[in-house]
Amino acid sequence: MVNDTVSIVAAGHTRFGRLDDTLEDLIVQVTRQALDDAAIEASDIDAVFLGHFNSGLVPDGFPASLVLQADPALRFKPATRCENACASGSAAIQAGINAIRSGAAELVLVVGAEKMTANTTAQVTRALGGAGYQNDPEEAGLSFPQLFGIAANQYRDRYQSPMAAMAAIAAKNHANAMANPLAQMHKAMTFEHCNTVSESNPLIASPLRLSDCSLITDGAAAIILASPQRARAFRREVLIRGSSQVNDVLPIAQRDILAFEGPQRAIHAALRQAGVTLIDLNFAEVHDCFTIAELLIYEAMGLAPKGEGHRALDDGIVQAGGRLPVNLSGGLKAKGHPVGATGVSMHAMAFHQLTGNPIGLAAPDAEFGLLFNMGGMAVANYATVLQARRA
């Protein structure tokens, strides 16, 4: 075992959805949950990292110290906000891992939070659009639904229509979310509904339908990271066996967006670091901001050749009960996508899965899980391989 392996030893998670809570409320709730779950005092925490995108979604422009509102003993702890678009939560986790590996901390609290639903859909779309390239008038004018719609059209032109596969992904993730009490959407959607443009499933950005798009969400999640020296004292422990960050250039005009090179590099670097392959994995949580993204991630993982991601669905590999179920939580598509919280949520959900207390659907006797969180159009890419501690 790598002697500098950082571990997750506790987690907290709010319900995702349209919530009355303020950003501060959400941060405080999950901080207290994580401290209670770890059965430690706030004074034991050495450093705090907050994943939070914002981009005008809330007026709180300096939120890192809002974590300190959870407990007086957190006052004067170093607290830092991390931002990397929709991967802000994973950026905060990576900062926490690095703090422990450097010797600067032994116990780190990581919180991810976002408050989005106080804004209109147009306002959220505009705020998220700021994560695209702004120095090219053509790209600056594109929303993320439009960007991923371009990807779906390019996929059709290069390979085959991805629309049926995208509908199958949406139906799968909504079915999975039905078992997750923290998910935003508890509404099953049939393949036929997801695969048909209708009054209840309109086009958002052709060819993307409403059912192909993730949700505008409020929510927060938290985890506590521990050094190898401290981790064994906790009643539960999940090892971070591999972690990788890969950033690509921002302008889509400078790259092949279907290649998903950043995700592919990040995922396989984390697998190599962990010393495992896809065969060893028991589940994966991946960044399905749009259903075409999950399809491209299958191919980046190596579950199917380029242009044939549908095979992972057709063969049942990624379904609940399959060889490598993907997004048992419901994913961003149905669990919800509070931007800064998403990466931390993936880790919190996986922590529960790997400690035998899954929130929602279980991957029986799971030992290894892969997590992939992405900022922008495959720009900021974070992959993690987690391993359950075996006594």
Q: Which residues are catalytic?
A: 86, 337
CB 111 within 8 A of CB 27: yes
CB 336 within 8 A of CB 251: no
Q: Which two structure tokens, joined as six digits, stand for 388?
A: 């359950």
Helix extents (H) in 118-260 = 121-129, 137-140, 144-158, 163-177, 191-194, 228-231
Give residues with Cβ within 8 angstroms of 133, minimum separation 6: 139, 140, 250, 251, 252
Three-state DSSP class for residue 245:
strand
Distance between CA 190 and CA 187 in Å, rounded?
Answer: 10
Q: Is 311 exposed, middle or buried (0-12, 13-18, 19+ CB in 10 A)?
A: middle
CB 372 within 8 A of CB 87: no
CB 86 within 8 A of CB 110: no
Q: Which two structure tokens, joined as six digits, stand for 216?
A: 């505008």
Give all strands (DSSP E) within the chain, no chain letters.
Answer: 7-13, 47-51, 79-82, 107-114, 203-205, 208-209, 219-226, 238-247, 283-285, 368-375, 380-388
Angle between helices 291-301 and 144-158 in degrees, nearest 10: 50
Distance between CA 76 and CA 66 in Å, rounded?
Answer: 12
